[in-house]
Amino acid sequence: MTFNFKKLTISDVVLIEPKSFNDDRGYFFENYNELNFNDYGIKTKFIQDNFSFSKKNVLRGLHFQKNPKAQAKLVSVLKGKIYDVAVDLRKNSSTYMKWISEILSEKNHKSLYIPEGFAHGFCVLSDTAYVMYKVNSNYYPEFDSGIIWNDNELNISWPTSEPILSIKDRNLLSLKDQDYDFNF
């Protein structure tokens, strides 16, 4: 197998580290392999790749799509370094309202698998970051939603107290003011 899959404290979120082949020319690794992911139990069918470029201290999120258009994501960093966060929004889950974070970078080549029913966001730690993520559902504006980055109930330990936010992200609601129906 060309990947090391690691279950995190929220067990449905998986940290994925590829086997990297290095020599004096550089390196090569697989970022995704459907067969290996299926063998591990991640049977998500990804249908779209998204790409973002962001500057240091940009915080994107916490985003999710409501049912029936919820999205699973596989987040990877092509260049730079990010603090990546997933929040469990599945109301009957033992980890409901818990969050997890991981550092993803061009150097560690790690990816984070985030299943449906989670909010996702990241903060850029390097001067710039190129982030790519696979999703299993198209974007539907009418199902688009999110939680304000500094929600008091979640109390996420972001690496900056003054993030650079989009207008959309500045105006997101708190978790308690959300209407969503994710169940575990």
CB 80 within 8 A of CB 136: no
**Residue 106, class by beta-carbon neighbours within 10 Å (0-12 exposed, 13-18 middle, 19+ buried)?**
middle
Catalytic residue among 83, 113, 133, 180: 133
Q: How long a stretch of residues is the chain?
A: 184
117 — alpha (psi -120 to 50), left (phi > 0) or beta?
Answer: left
180 an active-site residue? no
Catalytic residue among 63, 83, 113, 120: 63
- Contact at 8 Å (CB) between 114 and 88? no
Tell me if residue 27 is catalytic: no
Integer-rounded Cα radius of gyration of the chain: 16
Token code pair at residue 32: 């995704």
Would you name the residues annotated as active-site residues? Answer: 63, 133
